[in-house]
Amino acid sequence: MTARGNPGTGRTCAALAGAVALALALALAVTGCAGGSDPSAGGDGAHGPVTVFAAASLTESFTRLGTEFEAAHPGTTVTFSFAGSSALATQVNQGAPADVFAAASPATMRTVTDAGNADGSPVTFARNQLVIAVPKGNPQSVAGLADLTRPGTKVALCAPQVPCGAAARTALDAAGVPLTPVTLEQDVKGALSKLRLGEVDAALVYRTDAAASEVDAVEFPESAEAVNDYPIVVLRQAGNPAAAREFVAYVRSDRGRAALTAAGFQPPQA
């Protein structure tokens, strides 16, 4: 006798196979959606305006990142306010409307976190180092900090309360160089402006700012004693915290890191 299968059993198996196929398709769809969570790829639901307060030394790199962020996150617009970190911190603590704060030193960031104006803990996203900026061709043959004390040499520094000024003072003390500047500027762009206008012969500025300007940069070993960490945080009073968090994530993503490295920033320490 030849055995024959139960027709009902065949229909049950076919139905089960269809259900399994549907479950697999749904699983693949969910996996594909999860892959869109990459902050550099968009598709995260971030919308609306984002206001970022950032240290003046971040002007070029953050402007580029803002354009890329808007392209990756349709429906967002990023507005920047660039200035000395200490001035921006004061504005934040006075209630200025901003979503994100990126400072040029942990000490400056602490004035914001200590006031309770950060939403979460700041994270370091980059580091920066000082150089001696001089006119193209280095006409006075400046080779180190000691050369800045030559009679008649005019030097611009950032003000001591500004991160680049505090770093300059640390480097000068490490070198034992008693330098008296002819001007103290409120941010690194101000110090560079004095040099470009010919009002000074040299300026102590960040490597990234020198690279973005029509000047030459003289490296000096004492700058290793004054490397600045750059922290970033979403602010407690953020009007668009979701998009603010996405912007911070974008800065810390591979694409953000690549833009910062191209500008001359160093990666944060592991």
**pLDDT tens digits, one per residue of 141-191:** 999 999 999 999 999 999 999 999 999 999 999 999 999 999 999 999 999
Question: From edge to edge, which strands make up the β-sheet containing 216-218?
Answer: 183-185, 155-158, 202-206, 130-134, 216-218
Local structure of 90: helix, strand or coil: helix
What CATH class has 130-226?
alpha beta
Tens-place pLDDT, residues 203-222: 999 999 999 888 999 999 99
pLDDT score of 17:
41
- DSSP states of 183-246: EEESSHHHHHHHHHTTS-SEEEEEHHHHHTTTSEEE--GGGGGGPEEEEEEEBTT-S-HHHHHH
Whole-angstrom distance, CA of residue 78 vs CA of residue 202: 34
E-only strand ranges, the chain: 48-55, 76-83, 100-102, 123-128, 130-134, 155-158, 183-185, 202-206, 216-218, 228-234
Q: 67 is written with which tokens? A: 């354009």
pLDDT score of 46:
81
Tens-place pLDDT, residues 103-130: 999 999 999 999 999 999 999 999 999 9
pLDDT score of 14:
40
Q: How far is CA 63 from CA 67, 79, 169, 267, in A?
A: 6, 9, 29, 19
Whole-angstrom distance, CA of residue 133 vs CA of residue 155: 10
pLDDT score of 45:
64
Rounded to the nearest integer, the mean pLDDT of the chain is 86
pLDDT band at 269 (very low <50, low <70, confident <90, very high): confident
∠ Cα 201 83 230 (to 5°): 95
Q: Given a cut of 90, is residue 32 above it in pLDDT?
A: no
Tens-place pLDDT, residues 65-92: 999 999 999 999 999 999 999 999 999 9
Question: Which is more confidently placed, 3 or 145?
Answer: 145
**Mean pLDDT of the 50-56 span:** 97
Whole-angstrom distance, CA of residue 257 vs CA of residue 251: 7
pLDDT score of 212:
87
Same CATH topology for 48-126+230-262 and 130-226: the answer is yes
pLDDT score of 28:
36
List the chain domain ranges.
Answer: 48-126+230-262, 130-226
Q: 214 is written with which tokens? A: 């029509």
Please answer whether residues 260 and 59 qualify as being in contact, where contact means their C-beta atoms are separated by less than 8 angstroms.
no
**What is the CATH code for 48-126+230-262?**
3.40.190.10
Q: Given a cut of 70, is residue 51 above it in pLDDT?
A: yes
